[in-house]
Structure 1
């Protein structure tokens, strides 16, 4: 008798979900076209349903989902007519439409920023930064949690990948817990790893270049409203939210988990030993620090001291890092470590958003979903709160904030444009939702950094959800409060 290996049932389940996604696509394509929706719009909705099933089930890799998305959309669009066009789409025109996202400057920014993350990993500077901060703050429970938050902030300034940031920090946190002679699933281990995951989501919302979903949202907003946000503007608009959420996470973790440190000196010794193993700062690390600080200055002074946008400044910085003598790595070293699947998924997500917008599918979806809530005559703060709750609930089914942004932001833009407010206010409403897209606090599968941390065995889903539900609730209330106070004061609403 033959038995299935543990991998085979999982593989069969993934294949079944992939077939199910195509079944959903086929059913939507065969349905009568609803009133007010074009044929290309119906195709866009069918493609959307297909990729949502794929993203939620994770039946294929992110890069593979991008290829499936593009190919299926091209197949479905052949012979359909876009709104305002007289001739049906040929295969070449459909392909050009679905490749339009790859020409976005936001894709270049994501790719270049990932090269910066690779440089930090290649030189070991990311680990050095984390260890220096943890050594400086001290070893009591409160100080260790504060150190984890500070590490998350510093790495978020330079690394646009949540997975890369958290991947660099996890071994350090495990090392601290081990040095204290405690099991990784102790209350201290749970606290440190939960904070590592959750603070990553917080800073995703606070720093423009910290997360791909921010850039994909801004790309949609630029096309819809003719306006974007500089790095400094995003930072200033999000700063109170980020600071308060960091403090809330700090207090919640201490109160709910009550971590303890039985032997602080052992942890201090362990951290110093790891720092000593790294040795003195290398020439490559020094050059990388100079380049990274220079980029941070260029990003934060965009539109103020110079005309370079974030993408252009980043491209110049990466060019320096790849130059002989001046840089820290060569192309052959870098290309092996860059997660190209993230870049491909990001570009395909932009293409999907453009398809939803140009085909009229986003307008139609907004009218039959958000439009039925009767929000047009409601005050702005209540509109933002209800949209934020809608986004937070929808996030429960998504493992990728990039995928959620590709799906949700075009619909929110279409809905916002039906509201009786001026463009700057509509822009602000969508900007706030582009932050809320990163609300992956409740369940471990809601964000890749959560999954990395729970894979250590440091905490249970129940522990994570207990803190996640509390911080999500407070986050929604904070969004409402800032919509009534700070954001109108500085002109974002």
Structure 2
């Protein structure tokens, strides 16, 4: 470990101890204060990469278990919560269906790699789009948009795109950690996050927020209305993404020349194998059932994915064996993602997240601010608190009820309260800064195609521009069309 990382690790522990030792506010349970201390510790580790993500996950689980376990029980303050119960909370994310979906997507990506289908698809796409880096970036963004129309899972869309992009890199004879791989992989997951906002059915967190809003306000936003409100923002951000990525990671096009004609390479692959054909059928099966979830069948995306995986492991008629798959799965990615979900769940259960939000709003006099300023402050807080959540669904569960309570508490207002809540839900999907902030980010990060620093360098301008665009839309477009 170098000096910089050693210093970051020490700083993380110092911040942790300071927050734990601060006087406990009356309205915040001791367990909540300690959960917030672990959150601060985790964010420092994630931003600085003082240790690897899987190691940080082990630290987080251990600290949550001990610190929260030795805190007074919130229902019976005379007794300690106990490390056994705290451990159950600290590993709660490992029972999340979202974790299974991430695991399924990783296995599907491995199937693409083992059969070579990802390379065949990649070569076909390149034969149509072209091999210039800028054109490949445009193609990646367009594919991300089209998939968002039909597949109600960001992780599933990433599971479809990641192996194809790896195939593109392989077709040029470049390594997984090459600049081209980083360019395409980061573009893909950032585009997925953008269209999580643009399309109502693109992400689970949107459904969570709409459920809260229907319960409180008795209203729902149709698919078309959501698209009218959010798609213009997403279209502009897609253009922004293109310029950010093509300028952030510059590819020497001479390195892409002389690699052979794409159509010739496609022809050289020969006839499609039986396993490739089976995988195509499985992929179409998944895309169909993902895109029609709740419309023509009752199966959720995770269940459908597990059924597909079960088939792929069947001897003789399946696609691969466990021995082939096991070495290629990034198990550390799954551990980190589950721990991130656990972190959010503990913050919710100990009232740490709600206390932090409520006290922050009260301290800055949010309710007395002009509408656009209120949105600017709420959106900024939303973006910052997202640093501690691996699941936007968990963040929506924590943050949206607080925003609804804020709107309801203000009584009669000159603006449309539900519209303000919906805008905050848009910002929930701002998972642009760290790999840990979204499952699709973690899935791509698990391939080793890019570093946290590369991702952060793309995420900072995208987040800033996206945030400013939220403010601009709040002052103009969303008021013009009646959202606010």
- Alpha carbons of structure 1 residues 481 and 308: separation in structure 2 relative to 1, 3 Å: farther
1:465-480 to 2 correspondence within 5 Å?
A: 471-472=462-463, 474-480=465-471
C-alpha separation between the residues in 2 aligned to 1:350 and 1:198? Answer: 24
Matched, 1:343 2:334: yes
Partner of 2:431: 437
Please tell me whether the aligned partners of residues 350 and 406 of structure 1 are also in contact (alpha carbons under 8 angstroms).
no
**Where does residue 92 of structure 1 map in the other structure?**
84
Please state how far the C-alpha of 1:147 moved relative to its aligned partner: 3.2
Aligned 8 A contact 2:194 2:237 in 1: no
Match of 2:297 among 306, 318, 322: 306
Contact persistence 1:356–1:410 (CA under 8 A): no
* Aligned residue in 1 for 2:422: 428
Q: 1:274 to 1:193 in 2, by over 3 A?
A: farther
Instruction: Report the counterpart of residue 323 of structure 1 in structure 2.
Output: 314
Between the aligned partners of 1:100 and 1:256, the Cα distance in structure 2 is 38
Could you say which residue in structure 1 is the equivalent of 2:193?
A: 204
How far apart are the structure 2 equivalents of 1:356 and 1:245? 31
1:24-423 aligned at under 5 Å gives the runs 24-86=15-77, 87-138=79-130, 143-150=135-142, 160=156, 169=165, 172=168, 194=183, 197-206=186-195, 240-250=232-242, 269-376=260-367, 383-390=374-381, 403=390, 412-413=399-400, 415-421=402-408
Give the unaligned 5+ runs of structure 1. Answer: 1-8, 179-184, 442-446
- Deviation, structure 1 residue 47: 1.2
Checking the alignment, whether the CA contact within 8 Å between 2:93 and 2:339 is kept in structure 1 is yes
Residue segments in structure 2 that go unaligned for 5+ positions in a row: 409-415, 436-440
Query: Which sits farther off after the overlay, 428-437 or 232-241?
Result: 232-241
**How many residue pairs end up in the alignment?**
453
Does 244-253 or 477-486 show the bigger shift? 477-486
- CA deviations over 1:395-454 (Å, ceiling 9, x no partner): 8xx6xx96485996666346424312499667634531221123569xxxxx78699677
Q: CA deviation at 1:306?
A: 0.9
Aligned-partner Cα distance in 1 for 2:86–2:131: 58
Taking the aligned partners of 1:53 and 1:23, their CA distance within structure 2 comes to: 11
How far off its partner does 1:320 sit? 1.7
Native 8 Å contact 2:69 2:82 kept in 1: yes
For the aligned residue pairs, the C-alpha RMSD in angstroms reads 4.8
1:220-275 residue CA offsets vs partner (Å, 9 max, x unmatched): 86997899x9xx999968655444433444467789999997999957x4323432
Cα offset, 1:25, TM superposition: 2.0
Deviation for aligned residue 1:377: 5.4
- Tell me the TM-score normalised to structure 1 length: 0.72
Give the secondary structure class of the aligned counterpart of 1:419: helix
CA distance in 1, matches of 2:417, 2:318: 43
DSSP-derived class of the 1:436 partner: coil
In the alignment, the residues of structure 2 paired with residue 322 and residue 233 of structure 1 have an alpha-carbon distance, to the nearest angstrom, of: 40
CA contact (8 A) 1:392 1:436 kept: yes
CA separation of 1:317 and 1:382: change in aligned 2, threshold 3 A: farther
Which of 319-328 and 14-23 deviates more? 14-23
Structure 1 contact 362–410 (Cα < 8 Å) conserved = no
1:376 counterpart SS class: helix
Cα pair distance change 1:255/1:21, threshold 3 Å: closer
Output the CA distance in 2 between the equivalents of 1:177 and 1:79. Answer: 54
* 1-structure distance, mates of 2:48, 2:139: 35
Q: Deviations over 1:311-360 (max 9, x none)?
A: 11221122122222332112222222222222222221122112111212
What is the CA–CA distance in structure 2 between the aligned matches of 1:470 and 1:492, rounded to whole Å? 27
1:443-488 per-residue CA deviation (whole Å, 9 max, x = no partner) reads: xxxx786996777xxxx98xx96x8776545533544566689989
Does the 8 A contact of 1:362 with 1:414 survive in 2? Answer: no
Query: Structure 1 residues 51 and 404, CA, compared in 2 at 3 Å: closer, same or farther?
Result: farther
TM-score when normalising by structure 2: 0.74
Aligned residues of 2:392 and 2:429 also touching (Cα < 8 A): no
Q: CA deviation at 1:201?
A: 0.5
Does the aligned pair in 2 maintain the 1:170–1:193 contact within 8 Å?
Answer: no
Contact 1:107 1:343 in 2 (8 A): yes
